[in-house]
Structures are given as structure tokens and as C-alpha cells.
Amino acid sequence: MDILKQIADELKLRQTQVEAAVALLDDGKTVPFIARYRKEQTGSLDDQTLHTLSDRLNYLRKLEERKQEICDAIAAQEKLTPELEKAISAAQTLVEAEDLYRPFKQKRKTKASVAKARGLQPLADLLMAQDHKTDPEKEAEVFVNEELEVPDTAAALSGASDIIAETVSDDADLRKRLRNVLSLRGSLTVKAVDPDEDSVYRNYYDHSEPVERAAKHRILAVNRGEKEGYLKVTITMPEGLGEQIVTKTYVKNQSPSGQIVEAAALEAYKKSLLPAVQREVRAALTEAASEQAITVFASNLRQLLLQPPMKGMITLGLDPGFRTGCKVAVVDPTGKVLATDVVYITANSAQAVAGG
């Protein structure tokens, strides 16, 4: 990935501007310093653009570093295929990269890992094939083993179901699809912890709106209400839609094996997939709302700072500078800018001549 080109495209800047700004940032220069004293190098990028550029640069570098770590970890397990490596390289976010790594991550002891250790992976694979001719009970008899703590066919089928559920839960493409559907068609649902208790959040005691159209200020408001213990906030999927997506992805038919796969897939959706994507969508909403709040605050502060400095008087403002000269601005009694210029009050003789 060409990070500098991507940033230039996203921020609609010339690549030379991005290259110059990145070089200065990498050299340890701060955003305020670059915005004020290195305008000639960056093409007069302001501090807001530079902050956005810096944040995006750090994120993309972290993403590239993490993708390399993931590839190295999977390669160490000798499971890195060209297709998987290509998918990891194409990941646009850390969440997508982690989803791809999830099936290969060293997990704590889980029901599925215990079932695999008991030799039940082949039974899970057989059930996933969902052949109409397969009799799950009969096939499970082969895997009954007292020494491996598989006392009967029910235990064998239960272990195989755990393996299937983890497979469904670790499906990166399925997670991405559910996340997108929840973002586009889900609802932000808010309920009161105690409907009888009065608070400033009463307007949200029984509130619901589409996630896609949820106002940023309301997201921050319900977050505060939840933190203070007045509200319960959830991101809800349209009734039955998530289950439908999961079953269409994994269930081929209603054979005995297919019914076991369906039950395991729905269990994975309920206990793992849905809570995970709900957390991710909620976090994305909060991040976007917080960024907008900062932007609004900055705009309001700008208007405050641009108020007339002295009532009824024309005012001259001076921003001292040596190498690049002193910036001068004149505003009328209403705050309207009358004139701006650069003067060399501290100029050497050559600059003084050049500046007239």
C-alpha cells in the first residue's frame, strides 16, 4: 500500500504536500510548528488538515505493521496461503485484519479447542458436508472414547457442534457482512434503567432510531446517560435478518446433519457474532460522534476568537516572525478584515530592500 498516495487521495491534496508534511512530522516537528513556520514546504497546509493527515498517517502505519505481524504469525504456523496473504494485504481497517487473523489466533482453552483435542474435528467436517445419507448418530459412534472423555454419541455430537460454532464465529467475510448490515439497517435502541426515576435523559427513556441516521449529538448524549446509569443502549438487528444471513451462508439443506449445523451456526450468531459486531458498530458511532463534536467546538471557538477585539475601534494585529516576516491584519470595529500583509520589522538589509 502506498500510504502517502492514499492520504493525498483521501484529503484531496497534492502528493508533494503530503510528502513534505510527513517528512517534517517524522523529523519530530509538531503540527503547530509546521502550520506556522513551514508553510512554504507544505503548500500552506493549515493545522486542522495537518492534524487529520497526522492521525491518518499513524493509523495507516499501524495497520500496515499489524498486517505484517499477522502474516508472520500465520506463516509461523505454516498456514499462510497466497489467497489469505492477499486478503490480509487488502484489508482497509484494523478490524478487517483482525477478523482474518481470528481463526489462526492462539486462543484460550475453548469448548472447540477441547473438542479438537478429543479428535472430533473429522466428525465436524463430516457434519458440515451435510450429506443427506449421513446419519449423525451412527457416525458419532466411531468417536466415542472413554479415555478422551467422549463417553457417548451425544458428547461427540456436542463437541462437533462446538467446532462448527467456532468456525462460523471466526468467518471474517460473515463478520464483515453482518457489520455492514447492522450499520445500514440496524437501530439504536435506548431504554431507561428505571423509568420512574427522573433525569435529564428522560427524552431517551424509550427511544429508537436507525443507526445510519442517528444524530451525532444524540449518540454522545445516550453514551453519557448509559455511563451515569440512567440508560441501557443497544444496537439491534432487524428481526430475523442476522439469523437469515448466517443460515444462508452455512446451511445447505434440512438433512439431519444440516439441522445440527443450523443449530450450531445460530448459537454462534447469538453468543459471539452479534455481540461482537454490536460492539464494533457502537465504537464506530462513538468515534464519529466525538470527531464531529471536536469539529463543532473548533468552529465555535473560531467564531469566538474572531469577535471584534475592541468595541468601536479599528484594530491592528501583529504576528511576530523573523525569517518569514511579521504577519499583519487590520479589522474594523465590527471585526471585518480590512487588510492583511507581511512586513519585515526585524529584517536584514536585503529583506528590507526587497520588502520596500
Residue 196, pLDDT > 80, answer: yes
Residue 308, pLDDT > 80, answer: no
Domain 3-104, CATH class in plain words: mainly alpha
Residue 252, pLDDT > 90, answer: yes
Q: Which of 58-67, 108-117, 201-210 has the lowest mean pLDDT?
A: 108-117
Distance CA 246, CA 240 (A): 10
DSSP state of 145: B
Q: Model-level pTM greater than 0.95?
A: no
CB atoms near residue 156 (< 10 Å): 27
Distance CA 60, CA 50 (A): 15
Quote the pLDDT of residue 320. Answer: 86
The pLDDT confidence band at residue 348, using thresholds 50, 70 and 90, is low
Asked whether 306 and 320 are in contact (CB, 8 A), the reply is: no
Q: Which three cell numbers stand for residue 210?
A: 436507525
Superfamily of structural domain 111-183+238-302: Tex N-terminal region-like (1.10.3500.10)
Tens of pLDDT, residue by residue over 13-55, are 999 999 999 999 999 999 999 998 898 999 989 988 999 999 9
Percent of the chain clearing pLDDT 90 (strictly above): 78
Quote the pLDDT of residue 351. Answer: 53
Residue 85, pLDDT > 60, answer: yes
The backbone region for 352, taken as left when phi is positive above 0, alpha when psi lies in -120 to 50, beta otherwise, is alpha
The long-range contacts involving 144-149, CB below 8 angstroms and separated by at least 24 positions, are 145/118, 145/119, 148/118, 148/119, 149/118
Tens of pLDDT, residue by residue over 127-146, are 999 999 999 999 999 999 98
SS3 224: helix
Transcribe 277-333 into DSSP letters. Answer: HHHHHHHHHHHHHHHHHHHHHHHHHHHHHTS-SSTTS-EEEEE--STT-EEEEEE-T
